[in-house]
Structure 1
Amino acid sequence: MQLSTVLNGVLLPALAAVLWQYGHLRRRAESAEAEAQRARESPLLAPADYDAAIRELHADGTTAVCTGKVHTDRICRFQHLCYWAPADEFLFFHGPGSVALPSLGARRFQPALLDLSTVDDHNTQYFNVVDLPVSSLDRLPRPAFLSDTALIFNRFNPENLMHVLHDDLLPAFYTLKQFGELSWNYTRLVLTEGWSEGPYFELYRLLTGRQPLLRGELSSLGDLLCYPRAYVGLNKLPTWYQYGFTQPQGPKPNLLVSGNEIRHFATFIRTQLNVSEPHTYSVNGGTSEPYIVLIRRTLNRLILNEAELILAIAQEFDARLLAISLDSHPFREIVRIVSGASALVSMHGSQLALAVFLPPGAAVVEIFPYAVNPTHYTPYRTLASLPGMVLSYIAWRNERIEDTVTHPDRPWDEGGITHLSAAVQERIERSVEVPLHLCCRHPEWLYRIYQDTRVDITSFLATMRQVIPDKLTAPTPVPVTPVFPSRVRVPRCKSVVDPKSADAHIMVTWQPPWNLDFLPPQEVQYEVWIQEEGENTYSPYILSALNHTFVENIHPGTSYHVWIRCLLGPSLQGPFADALTCYT
């Protein structure tokens, strides 16, 4: 027998055995990796951690510590909050370690512990818990535990882009920032209102690294699902509009959000969508060409002469005009296009919420159908006017009934009125302006807002000219957040006497705020208030120097209080220094 034959007979089986062993180990490694990936993707606590969680729940029960004095501004952090799927109720198990702050007792049902959405005090958005003794766990099914920290809230209307951005994503984004425990990798959104995914569900996925859970999916995880750590409710401060449930719609009172917060949110969404640069068009490879965006509606509230309007705008401003639609363009591409636009034109509707992605210096032109007063419906006017948004806004309203097509035979929620009496139908058809009203079933409002409109070109272009210059310009850089001067330093005052008249005066001196050297150069002035002790009024002065002797209305033998602050530019006011007391 040849040596090669012997070697083949020995080596080939050995090689085959090695290859089999390698393949077996590789399959085991792939299987282990797949199992680990499934564990990472599973929303439930790993078996190794389960026993500790169930012991802690039995030993301590549920705890809750909340921020906010009333249900409309409250957010609660729970440990071991549970959800009982058969009754669609959240459970609070009272045990030896249970606390609930604030301790409301039955007052938590007047009307609720907190709002699950950012729409204030809406009775479909209330959150409450059902009380049970921790001993009742012995009579309930064995609980499942969510592995991640949960942020639990209701989407208000996931089929409407304005509601998605304004009521859900923007508040959720800042709630995640508010609580450090809500980290990207270990937070899961739990959306409990009961809607299906909706057309914008991909946007909710952008907020954390975990797949959001819908209420309909909770029961598949077990009849009793417990959250070792959960935050319930949303931060409402970033929202700017109320929809008219208790009073006609309009800006929220005492707005505490600026364009800076809106733009940070918009930048986050762009980054998550991998839209890092504005969408621009260049001419022959040269500088970028400014362009205008028109958002088309394709189902209702149509612009009947849309093609004519597009051509007229492009010719009037000698600019490229891009017509886009939420129905036909991927959302990522829409964000990219809007992020570089010099102007956004659209019929009134939720699609105008895309203005949050406009660059500073851009214009918003909103079209309103016949009989709809633009001053009564201002979500996008309000957005544009927020400090730091730096957007120009103008509304155009159809004034001619002959340029209107109504749809009385449609369903009531699409503007139909045939279900109403003949007298009411006639009154609505003859009306020239929708009266102020509450949300959301006012028949005249629905009849008019769902009209189709033929836009009067001449009038519309004249309106656009009020916010768009003769030469369209490219978007401007994002403005820097306002930086305020600090307190003035070393404020002092002393009494002086005029040697000639023997009149009493007050000399006040101070030093500039220490942070002025780090701020952009601007005009610096100082505001001084002087108040005679015991009086309710004060005398204000605006000064440029670092000292001043006050003569008017200064009396001998009198005490005065003096306050000083720095004014930077036309609008930035620093804090007052501690009050001085001067005696003449």
Structure 2
Amino acid sequence: MKKNKKNINREFMSNPALNIFRFIVITCALSFSSHILISYFEGQIQFNFRPPVRKTNISETSFVSSVWCKLDPHDNSHKTCTFSNLCWVPSEEQFIFLLGEESILHGVADWRDLSILELSSVAGHNRFFLKIAVVGLPISEQSPLFHHTIIKENEWVYFLWRFKPDNIMHIVHDDLIPLYYAYEELCAGKVQDCVEKYKLIFVDDVNNDFAFDLYQMFSRKSPESGYSEDEKLLFLKDNWKSYNNTTICFAHASIGLPRVTSWFQYGFGKPQGAIEGSSISTSVIKRFTKFLLKQMEISVPDKVGAHSYENNHLPQRALYISRSVNRRILNEMDVISTTKDIYSLFKKDKSHLQVDYFNPAPNSSSSGLKEMLTVITQQSLPKLVFGMHSAALTVAAVVCLGMTAEDTDLSFLELFPLGINPVAVSPLKALFNVIMPQNSNHIFYEDWVNVNASNSVLPRVDSDPLVGGGDLCLELDLSSVLPAVECCHNKDYLCRMFQNTIVDTNSSFPKKLMSLFSQQKKYKAQGVQNQGPSHYRAFRWFFPASVSNIQCLWNITKDESHLVLSWNSPINIHMHSHHYAVAVTLEYLNYSKETTMSERMGQERIVPEVSVDLFLKVQNTSTTVTVPEQFINNSGHIIQALTWIQCVVSLKHMKVSKHTSSLDAFHKCSVKL
């Protein structure tokens, strides 16, 4: 046995290649073990491996760039696009499109379309254009790119340029709702599939941690990070800035956010205000809110938005949103107390109103949204959301709207400083005006504006001028209402918007509360009506199907001649008021000896000797058409009936009525005399 062991050792010693292999294996194992130990004593084991990427010289590249774009439904100057092999040159901070014979350019007419692609949902600002250049292949030796190394990144990425990533309203309105809508389209409604597919990459350079927790919910976790929830998001300019003489090519990249979900514009090129004709719907808001709750692992009790408070024997809730720095309400406790008192006046049983207080500033998550959602869902859904105009108030209203059932009333009361016009500055008021026709009489909004200059307190003089600081505001008359202004540093606007306010709880503010509670009371007295989002969607999208199975029955006698038409009603008009528009053309055809064979075979149109057009409005699925006497005098001739039937449905939503029609159903029949 010992002899055999010695022979084996001699074989290893006499085989240098085998010894080298053993040395490499042992070295790698020791290196891997030491890496784990070092990482462990640093606090956590981390596996920093990533899939190998292919590195080649750009002059030897075998692939080309391609792009597929589609027009935004709301803005025909804006496109969202998906690229194959969109490349980034870090040293130039420039994207390039490698144009070759096999490049596909779908949805772009020429270079002008590529040059105006935008990376944001915010319209009218020249900051968000995709900085891209077209580079023809093969690359010339004189090109500065000729000696570049190409690194091919095979992940699916989504490039995003954030407008104001330090403001929760802008994050939700400008970025997250549009991104959610884009994911619905890209992954056919399965948003989670897109979350697990796309890695978000920020093209902007505002590198702070505010609301990273929200963006991470829309970005794929990397295997090399161990799928950590704390994984840092990527910034395009920072992540690859040290790559000299290198071009990074992303095999799959999407850019552009849809504008179809936007409802407010910020004054770029025109005064700020609501977006005319906005297509945002409560349906999108509800799906977005449901997604947020699921991603944050916040459970929603069954009673939230599902039943009336009276049935659950729960106190009605209100949510008050506070501010910490500027544009504060200086008598918050008086405002809350007055709200409770006015509510009690409208309750016969003298039940009280529970007001929950929320300030988004001192929270564990950077944006405070998770804490806000936790407060909202901890009991029954608030029936009233109120506070000073703010980003947090708008977002609270959006998520409450997203959780509100169709049979549950919800009210918003938004307060404003002296001299402010709510129509010009409030995304919340703009949203209400869009969704109000969709939700009819169970969503309410009121605004309160301070009109007493003595109840207005300017920010400290040493505050930043962008938030109303400095001496300039002291010289202005702020009591006049300011019309809508263009962005961004209008002194009249800034001095008004950031004033602190003492709310008049003796007169004007109670009147607004009474108006809101009166509307709620009237809604409950009327009872739940089918006028919510489902009814609105049916009103907006419904049109009848075509009639089918048209039948003809001729009855030709000496005394009378008529045609009986019958058909099947459309499959989707049940419970809808409707009638049928019937058009009949009766033709008297003479097949004389001169009639050609092709005419008799129906290959050519025979000109009728007599033609009569009849138009009928019919309530049922059959009607009788009287045949004129001149059609039945000569035997051997043919009477032909060309029939078109259309179903017309009458719809009504709130005070708006409309008629919508089906496509014409055509039928031809004839009888020989």
Give the TM interval when normalised to the shorter protein: 0.7 to 0.9
Could you tell me which amino acid in structure 1 is paired with residue 458 of structure 2?
Answer: T
Question: Aligned partners of 2:128 and 2:150: how far apart in 1?
Answer: 26
**2:516 corresponds to 1:467:** yes
Q: Secondary structure at the match of 2:61?
A: helix
Q: Relative to structure 2, which stretch is displaced further, 370-379 or 559-568?
A: 559-568
Question: Aligned partners of 1:326 and 1:550: how far apart in 2?
Answer: 72
- Whether contact under 8 Å (1:58, 1:95) holds in the other structure is no
- Whether contact under 8 Å (1:280, 1:288) holds in the other structure is no
Q: Secondary structure at the match of 2:516?
A: coil
Task: Provide the TM-score with structure 2 as the length reference.
Answer: 0.67
Q: 1:392-422: per-residue Cα shift (whole Å, max 9, x none)?
A: 21111112111111237343211236358xx
| Equivalent residue pairs, number | 523
1:302-381 to structure 2, matched below 5 A, reads: 302-317=328-343, 318-329=352-363, 330-339=368-377, 340-351=381-392, 352-358=394-400, 359-360=403-404, 361-381=409-429
Of 161, 171, 178, 2:178 maps to: 171
Question: Aligned partners of 1:370 and 1:279: how far apart in 2?
Answer: 41
Deviation at 1:354, TM superposition (A): 2.2
Q: Relative to structure 2, which stretch is displaced further, 217-226 or 331-340?
A: 217-226
Partner of 2:54: 50
Question: Aligned partners of 2:625 and 2:485: how far apart in 1?
Answer: 55
Could you tell me which amino acid in structure 2 is paired with residue 336 of structure 1?
Answer: T
Could you tell me which amino acid in structure 1 is paired with residue 648 of structure 2?
Answer: R
- Whether contact under 8 Å (2:69, 2:108) holds in the other structure is no
Q: Secondary structure at the match of 1:124?
A: helix
Could you tell me which amino acid in structure 2 is paired with residue 215 of structure 1?
Answer: L
**2:255 corresponds to 1:232:** yes
Question: Aligned partners of 2:277 and 2:133: how far apart in 1?
Answer: 35
Gaps of 5+ in 1: 1-23, 497-501, 518-522, 534-538, 552-558
Partner of 1:576: 662
Partner of 1:454: 502
1:86-485 to structure 2, matched below 5 A, reads: 86-102=91-107, 104-108=109-113, 112-134=115-137, 135=139, 139-180=146-187, 183-210=194-221, 212-219=233-240, 222-223=243-244, 224-278=247-301, 287-317=313-343, 318-329=352-363, 330-339=368-377, 340-351=381-392, 352-358=394-400, 359-360=403-404, 361-384=409-432, 385-386=434-435, 388=438, 391-407=443-459, 409=461, 410-416=463-469, 418-419=471-472, 426=475, 428-429=476-477, 431-457=479-505, 458-468=507-517, 469=520, 480=534, 482-483=537-538, 484=542
Question: Aligned partners of 2:58 and 2:237: how far apart in 1?
Answer: 28
Partner of 2:629: none
Question: Aligned partners of 1:532 and 1:464: how far apart in 2?
Answer: 61
Partner of 2:88: 83
Partner of 1:513: 570
Deviation at 1:222, TM superposition (A): 3.4
Deviation at 1:280, TM superposition (A): 7.8
Question: Aligned partners of 1:311 and 1:328: how far apart in 2?
Answer: 23
Question: Aligned partners of 2:389 and 2:35: how far apart in 1?
Answer: 54
Could you tell me which amino acid in structure 2 is paired with residue 101 of structure 1?
Answer: H
Gaps of 5+ in 2: 1-28, 222-230, 344-351, 555-559, 586-614, 627-641, 669-673
Q: Secondary structure at the match of 2:428?
A: helix
Measured at CA, do residues 562 and 222 of structure 1 come closer, stay the same or move farther in structure 2, by a change above 3 Å?
A: same
- Whether contact under 8 Å (1:531, 1:561) holds in the other structure is yes
Deviation at 1:305, TM superposition (A): 0.6
Deviation at 1:331, TM superposition (A): 2.5
- Whether contact under 8 Å (1:148, 1:229) holds in the other structure is yes
**2:541 corresponds to 1:487:** no
Task: Provide the TM-score with structure 1 as the length reference.
Answer: 0.76
Question: Aligned partners of 2:159 and 2:652: how far apart in 1?
Answer: 44
Q: Relative to structure 2, which stretch is displaced further, 347-356 or 260-269?
A: 347-356
Q: 1:147-201: per-residue Cα shift (whole Å, max 9, x none)?
A: 4201112111111111100110011111122113973322101110111134211
Could you tell me which amino acid in structure 1 is paired with residue 287 of structure 2?
Answer: H
Question: Aligned partners of 1:561 and 1:376: how far apart in 2?
Answer: 51
Question: Aligned partners of 1:185 and 1:29: how far apart in 2?
Answer: 32
Larger Rg: 2
Deviation at 1:486, TM superposition (A): 3.8
Measured at CA, do residues 493 and 252 of structure 1 come closer, stay the same or move farther in structure 2, by a change above 3 Å?
A: farther
Partner of 2:576: 524
Deviation at 1:302, TM superposition (A): 0.5
Partner of 1:10: none
Partner of 1:19: none
Deviation at 1:72, TM superposition (A): 3.7
Q: Secondary structure at the match of 2:482?
A: coil
- Whether contact under 8 Å (1:75, 1:235) holds in the other structure is yes
Could you tell me which amino acid in structure 1 is paired with residue 512 of structure 2?
Answer: T
- Whether contact under 8 Å (2:425, 2:484) holds in the other structure is no
Question: Aligned partners of 1:197 and 1:66: how far apart in 2?
Answer: 31
- Whether contact under 8 Å (1:59, 1:96) holds in the other structure is no
- Whether contact under 8 Å (2:168, 2:395) holds in the other structure is yes
Identical counterparts, % of pairs: 21
Q: Secondary structure at the match of 1:447?
A: helix
- Whether contact under 8 Å (1:81, 1:226) holds in the other structure is yes
Q: 1:39-68: per-residue Cα shift (whole Å, max 9, x none)?
A: 7x76x6x22x626x9899811222222222
Q: 1:430-483: per-residue Cα shift (whole Å, max 9, x none)?
A: 65111231122111111111111111113212212222335999xx99965744
Question: Aligned partners of 1:298 and 1:550: how far apart in 2?
Answer: 77
Partner of 1:65: 68
Q: Secondary structure at the match of 1:322?
A: strand
Q: Secondary structure at the match of 1:202?
A: helix
Question: Aligned partners of 1:258 and 1:299: how far apart in 2?
Answer: 33
- Whether contact under 8 Å (2:120, 2:174) holds in the other structure is yes
- Whether contact under 8 Å (2:646, 2:663) holds in the other structure is yes
Deviation at 1:346, TM superposition (A): 1.7
Q: Secondary structure at the match of 1:114?
A: coil
Measured at CA, do residues 139 and 532 of structure 1 come closer, stay the same or move farther in structure 2, by a change above 3 Å?
A: same
Q: Secondary structure at the match of 1:256?
A: coil
Q: Secondary structure at the match of 1:399?
A: coil
Question: Aligned partners of 1:81 and 1:488: how far apart in 2?
Answer: 47
Measured at CA, do residues 301 and 509 of structure 1 come closer, stay the same or move farther in structure 2, by a change above 3 Å?
A: farther
- Whether contact under 8 Å (2:644, 2:664) holds in the other structure is no
Could you tell me which amino acid in structure 2 is paired with residue 362 of structure 1?
Answer: L
Could you tell me which amino acid in structure 2 is paired with residue 526 of structure 1?
Answer: H
Partner of 1:20: none
Could you tell me which amino acid in structure 1 is paired with residue 357 of structure 2?
Answer: A
Question: Aligned partners of 1:513 and 1:419: how far apart in 2?
Answer: 69
- Whether contact under 8 Å (1:150, 1:190) holds in the other structure is yes
Measured at CA, do residues 312 and 532 of structure 1 come closer, stay the same or move farther in structure 2, by a change above 3 Å?
A: farther
Could you tell me which amino acid in structure 2 is paired with residue 124 of structure 1?
Answer: R
Could you tell me which amino acid in structure 1 is paired with residue 331 of structure 2?
Answer: N
